[in-house]
Amino acid sequence: MTEEIKGLKGFYDRYPEDWASWRKLIDTVENTAKEFGFREINAPSVEKADLYRVKSGEELMDQMYNFKDKGGREISLIPEQTPTRARLVQQRKDLKSPIKWFDTSKRWRYENVQRGRDREFFQTDFDVFGVDSVEADAEVIAAGATIYKKLDLDDRVNFLVNDRNLLESILEAHGIEKTEQAMKVIDDKEKMGSEEFIDELTDVGLEADQAEQVDEITSISGQINEQISELREQAPEDAQEAVDRMEALSETLEAYGVAEMVELDLSIVRGLAYYTGLVFEAFDSEGELRALFGGGRYDDLVGMFGGQDVPAVGFAFGYSTTIELLKKEDRWPLKEVETDVYVLTVSDSVKDKGMEYAKDLREKNLTVETDLSSRGFGSQLEYADSINAKRVLIVGERDLENDEVTIKHMDSGEEENIGKDEAVEKLTE
């Protein structure tokens, strides 16, 4: 008896009825990237493991799919694409700034499978290289926010932004020297109550009164323009420029029409160590899901892979978490498998004519299917219904002798006879 082989845990088989909605979501994300002027790239699915050691040390390696190839080289399935992009930028000294790239592809991480977190997953990366302007910061956030506007989820998604350098300056101005240790605890603040948060801070070496100060400082949140005065009061003199930048970010997001979706939150620091300033995360505004995705500015990463220092800002769009949000809003599936026209041939004698119609309709960019199994009339209609054919073009020998064909509208069941030479034009209306 043949053994049934099932798929791996955390890897998913997506049949056409599932993939149609995935494709619709991916198209929404990619079309947004193109509208903002991002150019599509295609990058490898495997890289030398050292690429991730350079960026993250050994910390990330346990979460990756690592193996040796036949040449004895240690390679990895990519867990993220940012280091790859940094490598690509470093290899090309002729690229003109700003370099605006996007790419949708699979990534792999060996971690616990849970809702919205898989071992094989899709991401679309948006990145701007070569400029350190607040306009670039605003553009990547605006692109992300625009995706949710298109999905009619803008009332369920908030972008929470912070500046790590600004937060560090504020902490230091309050006499807190162990900022690195504090930042690691702050990164998990959303998962803790106030008492637990303070206890965690004291465990890493802060005094009790300092821990309470950190709790108070990282509770500053709200619309950016409404928090600027508080930031100016909290920030030392040498950090006022960062406050100016945050204010400019708010104004630029207002011009993009997405400012209502973006808030300042000083507890957002992001776990990845390479972020150098701006950081942000997209959240379900009702708090039912973990962060949808995040991003920020990583001006030092490209320089890790060569002599060229290139500022950068970007994010990786998270599909699995966004789909969970769409399901909560009863918006999933986004799309069903559809066929524009099924060409039903009544007999073998008219199959060539049916194929001619199919060819002409496909040239009009319609999705068209024909009978491949010599099925009878009723079986063909059942199949057309199963593939969600909108209309069926019925081609029969007698009708053709009368210079006619029949169009059946599947939603209403109505039929109409039209001239055989008018069929293509009628079906493309």
Q: Where are the domains of the chain?
A: 16-328, 339-427
Write out the DSSP string of 266-328.
TT---S-TT--SEEEEEEETTSSSS--EEEEE-TTTGGGGSS----EEEEEEEHHHHHHHHHH
Task: Count Cβ atoms below 10 Å from residue 294 Cβ, excluding itself.
Answer: 21
User: Is the model's pLDDT at 1 over the cut of 70?
Assistant: no
Find residue 407's DSSP bridge partners: 393, 416
HSE, side-chain direction, 13 A CA sphere, residue 329:
22
Our CA angle for 350, 356, 361, nearest 5°, is 130
What's the pLDDT score for residue 3?
83
Mean pLDDT score, 328-342: 95
Distance CA 205, CA 53 (A): 29
- 97-106, 113-122, 305-314, 419-428: least confident range: 113-122
The chain-wide mean pLDDT, for the chain, equals 94
Task: Count Cβ atoms below 10 Å from residue 132 Cβ, excluding itself.
Answer: 15
pTM: 0.93
- Residue pair 142/327 in contact by the 8 Å Cβ criterion: no
User: Is the model's pLDDT at 113 over the cut of 90?
Assistant: no
Our CA angle for 281, 221, 323, nearest 5°, is 30
Parallel, antiparallel, or unpaired: how do β-strands 120-129 and 46-48 relate? unpaired
What's the length of the chain?
429
Mean pLDDT score, 335-349: 96
pLDDT above 90: percentage of residues in the chain: 88
Residue in this structure with the two tokens 């346990």, named with its chain if needed: 62
| Terminal-residue alpha carbon distance, the chain | 54
CATH class of 339-427: alpha beta
Task: Give the pair of three-digit tokens for residue 210.
Answer: 């300092």
User: Is the model's pLDDT at 58 over the cut of 80?
Assistant: no
Distance CA 81, CA 125 (A): 7
84: left (phi over 0), alpha (psi -120 to 50) or beta: alpha
Confidence of residue 199 (pLDDT cuts 50, 70, 90): very high
Find residue 288's DSSP bridge partners: none
Mean pLDDT score, 240-258: 97
The stretches of 191-223 forming alpha helices (DSSP H) are: 194-203, 208-217
Cis peptide before 333 (omega within 30 of 0): yes
| SS3 of residue 258 by DSSP | coil
Single out the residue of 341, 346, 342, 340 nearest to residue 395, CA to CA: 346
| pLDDT per position as a tens digit, 59-104 | 678 889 999 999 999 999 999 999 999 999 999 999 999 999 999 9
Cis peptide before 83 (omega within 30 of 0): no
What's the pLDDT score for residue 55?
74
User: Is the model's pLDDT at 307 over the cut of 90?
Assistant: no
- Residue pair 155/285 in contact by the 8 Å Cβ criterion: yes
Distance CA 312, CA 274 (A): 11
Mean pLDDT score, 355-368: 98
- 113-117, 346-350, 394-398: least confident range: 113-117
CATH class of 16-328: alpha beta
Q: Which 8-state DSSP code applies to residue 111?
A: -
How far, in whole angstroms, is CA 343 from its chain's centroid?
37
**Cβ neighbourhood burial of 112 (10 Å; 0-12, 13-18, 19+):** exposed
Task: Give the pair of three-digit tokens for residue 163.
Answer: 């500046």
Confidence of residue 272 (pLDDT cuts 50, 70, 90): low
Find residue 105's DSSP bridge partners: 123
Distance CA 319, CA 96 (A): 30
- Residue pair 289/157 in contact by the 8 Å Cβ criterion: no
Distance CA 323, CA 325 (A): 5
User: Is the model's pLDDT at 392 over the cut of 80?
Assistant: yes
Mean pLDDT score, 220-240: 96
Task: Give the pair of three-digit tokens for residue 424.
Answer: 């293509």
Single out the residue of 154, 163, 161 nearest to residue 261, CA to CA: 154
Q: Is the dihedral of CA 136, 137, 141, 144 positive or negative?
A: positive
How far, in whole angstroms, is CA 312 from its chain's centroid?
18
